[in-house]
Amino acid sequence: MPDSYAIAVLPGDGIGPEVSREAIRVLRASAEAFGFGLTADEYPVGGAGVDAVGDPLPPATLDACLAADAVFLGAVGGPDWDRVAPERRPERGLLRLRKALGAFANLRPVAVPDALVPRSPLRTDRVSGTDLLIVRELTGGIYFGTPRERTEAEAFDTMRYSVAEVERIARVAFEWAERRSGRLASVDKANVLASSALWRDVVSRVGADEFPHVALEHLYVDNAAMQVVREPRRFDVIVTGNLFGDVLSDLAATLPGTLGLLPSASLGGPVGLFEPVHGSAPDLAGRGLANPLAAVLSAAMLLDALGQPDAAAAVRQSVERALAEGTVTPDLGGTATTEQVGRAVARSLSPATASPAPSHV
């Protein structure tokens, strides 16, 4: 019997349903081309969950995610839910989902394909050849730390990390560095934050004790941000906390000149969560203008996680063909619609033309 996988699809809000539709189209084409089974059932999340049952993460959605082999999410949020109670904001549903799945490690690869080098805001000689991986801790830090409170007079949040939380994300990052070039940059603010001082000490110890062959460097987050822009090719794998990873990964997203090409995977528990980096872009919703390639590349990461690396490689190669042929949406200078791009990628999938799967994201 061939392998078969159940995918929980959470289209979400704004352009989420449109890009999710194309990602699932590509996943179905991959299953047909490479001979495995796949089911994909949709559930509400984010603003769609609030509208459906008053909860950004409905219990039925969470149950389906926990029972699936993988979860694919489109995007959440938008101005329609700006005035709901804080605990009902679409983004809170996403944070709760990550926590429930145990998805503590967020992988965000950032590469600049040759076809997009001219579109980067950086000079060609600086950005050409960029291929880095940001490993962001996802379930700790200031987004989850307690106590947190807001009164009329003040507000405060708590940036908190345990040794165990830092150890486990450090190991993920070191393992990826071993698979790639053997270089890891750890980003913190150890000169002023006690939580960052702990972070630096723990990452250093894990490296020395368990990964002595990986070259480790430490950077303060402000310097790291400058270096990502000035010299992105100096980086291979970057590991950092939740807040700093949120900022740095969005900054790095400018390197290829569009958020529409950047996928992500959130791993650590028994079920992985895969989603494009971009937001819900409500101004583009329903117009056929949304770039689905970040969602499609997130689907490729999903295939990797399910143990289908050849199918994942074929998807990435199909995306590269679409870029080289100019079958792209207006954000990349093309005239294709969201659906036309998705269909072009799905149509060109073939085991016969796929190169062997690469050894890294």
143 catalytic? Reply is: yes
- Residue matched to tokens 């950005």: 127
- Catalytic residue check, 99: no
**220 is a catalytic site residue:** no
Catalytic residue of the set 5, 55, 189, 304: 189
Q: Which of 3, 80, 157, 250 is catalytic?
A: 250
Rounded alpha-carbon distances, angstroms, from residue 142 to 95, 178, 195, 236, 240: 12, 29, 10, 26, 13
Catalytic residue among 3, 131, 246, 310: 246
Separation between Cα atoms, residue 16 and residue 45, nearest integer Å? 10
Active site residue 222: yes
Which of 100, 178, 174, 105 lies closest to 137, judged by CA? 105
Would residue 55 show up in a list of annotated catalytic residues for this protein? Answer: no
CA 314 to chain centre: 19
Q: Are 303 and 32 within 8 A, CB to CB?
A: no
Contact 80, 56 (CB under 8 A): no
The CA angle 279-46-298, to the nearest 5 degrees, is 45
* β 183-188/237-240 pair status: parallel
Q: State the catalytic residue, choosing from 143, 188, 236, 304.
A: 143
Sign of the CA dihedral running 325, 331, 333, 337: positive
Residues marked as catalytic: 143, 189, 222, 246, 250
